[in-house]
Amino acid sequence: MNTALPNGLKVLDLFCCQGGAGMGYHLAGFDVTGIDLAPQPRYPFSFVQTDAIGFVREHGAEFDFIHASPPCQRYTLAQRIHHRDHPDLIGPTRAALEATGRPWVIENVEDAASELRSPVTLCAAAFGMRTYRHRLFETGGNFTLTQPRHRPHTAPLTKMGRPRAEGHFAHYVGNFSGVQEARTDMHVPWMNRDGIRECIPPAYTQHIGTALFASLLGVAA
Ligand SMILES: C[S@@+](CC[C@H](N)C(=O)[O-])C[C@H]1O[C@@H](n2cnc3c(N)ncnc32)[C@H](O)[C@@H]1O
């Protein structure tokens, strides 16, 4: 997908980490501001270190679109097995987004599917990457996404911690090996391993940002 010219519209990137989501909106032409509780020296755009839900309650309506990637620890299988109790951030995030009156998206992992309302799933293979990395996107505020066709997964997966074998796909999670390869594959050259394991590939939000711009203009993407 080509990089769009700046369109003058502002995206708020909540729970931004190192900016995988933010980069996609930037490539789609939006002016991006990121919010994270932790310092994010690698984040490539304007950044405010603060609580995402407090910030969106106070400033969300000042933006044209809001993206939120609340941390997924509560929903992962490992956390359920170990009975670790992480707070539910999806519900409070949705309530705060709805109160802004702006269009929004909440992104999360497949383990959180039951918490999301009619989400659309994006798969990295559909964007030409050599990984699958499914992520779910719930939309609101009069913005909708169409579920793209999903092709069956046919490539074998390289085992965790091993270098990628020829023709195999990789899983960039945990302590995965091949940071440089992951940077190249997902187009996130500024990230370290911590950012890569958390991020969504910018191609996902470039796709969403392109659909959003078309919907704001009232034309088909
Ligand atoms: C899954 S990562 C987001 C990944 C990001 N969307 C990307 O594509 O690179 C979740 C982030 O939420 C941050 N976080 C956790 N609780 C937060 C809160 N209450 N307010 C703001 N950020 C928070 C974490 O520090 C972490 O960086």
Neighbours of 107 (CB within 10 A): 25
- What is the homologous superfamily of the domain 10-147+200-217 according to CATH? Vaccinia Virus protein VP39 (3.40.50.150)
Cα–Cα–Cα angle for 69, 13, 87, nearest 5°? 35
Residue 3 is classified by DSSP as: P
- Going from N- to C-terminal start, the domains of the chain cover 10-147+200-217
Residues lining ligand 1, Cβ inside 6 A? 15-21, 35-38, 51-52, 69, 71-72, 198-200
What is the Cα–Cα distance from 53 to 70, expressed in whole angstroms? 10
Q: Give residue-wise pLDDT tens across range 100-140.
A: 999 999 999 999 999 999 999 999 999 999 999 999 999 99
Cα gap 203→181, rounded to integer Å: 16
Query: What distance in angstroms lies between residue 165's CA and the mean position of ligand 1's atoms?
Result: 32
Question: Is pTM, for the whole model, over 0.75?
Answer: yes
What confidence score (pLDDT) does residue 175 get?
Answer: 85
Instruction: Taking residues 142-159, report their average pLDDT.
Output: 92
Per DSSP, the three-state class of 199 is coil
Does the pLDDT at position 83 exceed 60? no
Sign of torsion over alpha carbons 28, 32, 36, 38: positive
Task: Look at residue 71 in the predicted model and tell me its pLDDT.
Answer: 94
What tens digit of pLDDT does each residue of 54-75 get? 999 999 999 999 999 999 776 6
Higher-confidence position of 44 and 221: 44
> Nearest C-alpha to atom 11 of ligand 1 is from which residue?
15
